Amino acid sequence: MELQDQEQAVTSEREVFELPSEAQVEAEKEAPLDLTQVQMRIQEIIRVLNNFSDLRGPSHSRNDYMDQLKRDMCFYYGYNEFLMEKLLQLFTVSEAVEFFEANEVARPVTIRTNTLKTRRRDLAQALINRGVNLDPIGKWTKVGLTIFDSPVPVGATPEYMAGHYMIQAASSFLPVMALGPQENEKVLDMSAAPGGKTTYCSALMKNTGMMVANDANKEREKALVANIHRLGVSNAIVCNYDGREFPKVMGGFDRVLLDAPCSGTGVISKDASVKTNKGPEDFSMLTHLQKELILSAIDSVNADSATGGFIVYSTCSVTVDEDEAVVNYALSKRPNVRLVDTGLDFGRPGFTSFRGQAFHHSLALTRRFYPHAHNMDGFFVAKFKKTSNKIVVGDKQVVPAGSGAKLKQKKKKN
C-alpha cells in the first residue's frame, strides 16, 4: 500500500502542467479566472520552474513559464508589470512568493524607548500595567519593543505624551545603529522628518554636541519639531533645505545620515499604492536624486574628524537601482570614501553583481533586510568612511565646499 502511494506521488510530481494557450490568455483578459484558480496556477508554474528539466512542457521555454507567472502574479497581488518584473529579479521564484505574501501582512507595531527620559525595563512595566501585551523586538536592539495588543491607543498613552517612547518601525533603528553617533559630535540627518532617527541620534549622543535635523519638506517638519520637543531633545537644530545644497550651507560634520527619498518598495505593506504607481520614469528621477544627495552627504563630512568621518546611506527600498547602484556610483565619483562594516550582525549582504552589472567587491559590506526574512520593512543600509577631504581630479586636488578642510596653497614669491 505504501509503495502504491509512493508511486502515485511520483506520478503526480511528474505530471506535465500545461500552460494556457494564447487564445486562453486573451480570453482571460475579458473574463479573468477567480483568485483561487490563479493561485493554483502560480503554484503549478513554480513547481515546474523548480524542476524544469523533468516537468517542462516540450514546446515551452523557461521564458514562457516566467511570462505567465508574471501575468498571474500581477493579477493575484495587484502589481503593475514593470514593478513585478523588477522585484522578481531579486529572488528565486519560491522566495519571491514569500516576499509578495509578506507584503500583504501588516508589520508588527514597534516602539523605541527614549533613553533620555526612561529605561526600556521601566517603560515596559508601565505599559504592561496598562494592559499592553509586548515583548523586546530582538537581541539586536536594547531599546525596541514590539506591541502585540493594547487596550489603549499606543499613540495616546501618558507615557507617549510624556515622550518616553517613539512609535517607530524596527527597520529605521538600523541606520542610526550603523551611524553610531558619539557624544559631543556634530551630526547631520539630511532627511529627518518625522524625527525617529534624529531623536534616536540625540539619545545616543545624550543631548550633547549638535544634531542638525534637515528636511526639504516644510510641512513634514511640523511633526519633526513636535517629536523633538516631546522627547526632550535639546541638542537639535531644525532647518529646511534641499539636501543637495548642504555642503554649501553647512559642513564639517563628524557624521551624516542620509535616509534617502525612495520608491518605498520595502514598505508596500504600509502603502499598497506603490504596487501600481511606480514606473520607469519614477525610478529614473529617484535614482538621479539619490546620487546627487549621496555626493552632498559625503562632501558635508570632515574626514579629519577625531571621532567620526562616517556617512550612512539607507533606503526603505529593495531595488538594486536605488541601493547598490547608487552606492557604487558614489564610490566611483568619490575615491576619498570606502565602505566599512555596518556593525549590524544580521541582514543579507548587498549584491556585488546583478544581472550583468558588476559592483565594487566591498558592496558585500552593505546590508539588505526583507519583510519575509526579518519580519520588518524592506531596508538597505550602507556605511562609508571618508579617508580624505581632497579629491584628485586629473593632477589637481580639489576640496569640496563644506568638508571642513582647507587646501594649502603655496604663496607666490614676488
User: Residues with catalytic annotation?
Assistant: 316
User: What is the distance between the alpha carbons of residues 280 and 272, in angstroms, rounded to a whole number?
Assistant: 18
Cβ atoms of 95 and 372 closer than 8 Å: yes
User: What is the distance between the alpha carbons of residues 164 and 118, in angstroms, rounded to a whole number?
Assistant: 6
> CB atoms < 10 A from the CB of 202, how many?
29
| 413 grid coordinates | 614669491
> CB atoms < 10 A from the CB of 91, how many?
16
User: Over the range 265-302, which residues count as b (16 or more CB within 10 Å of their CB) and which as e?
Assistant: bbbbbeeeebbeebeeeebeebbebbbebbbbbbbbbb
User: Over the range 362-375, which residues count as b (16 or more CB within 10 Å of their CB) and which as e?
Assistant: bbebbbbbbbbbbb
> CB atoms < 10 A from the CB of 130, how many?
12
Cβ atoms of 246 and 296 closer than 8 Å: yes
Helix (H) or strand (E) holding 9: helix 2-13
State the burial class of residue 239 (Cβ atoms within 10 Å of its Cβ: 0-12, 13-18, 19+).
middle
| 262 grid coordinates | 525612495
Please compute, for residue 48, the number of CA atoms within 13 A of its CA located in the half-sphere on the CB side. Answer: 24
Backbone φ, ψ for residue 342 (5° rounding): -75, -20
**The amino acid at 68:** Q
Backbone φ, ψ for residue 224 (5° rounding): -60, -50
**What strand order describes the sheet that includes 109-113?**
133-136, 144-149, 109-113, 165-167
User: Over the range 151-178, which residues count as b (16 or more CB within 10 Å of their CB) and which as e?
Assistant: eeebeebebbeebbbbebbbbbbbbbbb
State the burial class of residue 353 (Cβ atoms within 10 Å of its Cβ: 0-12, 13-18, 19+).
exposed
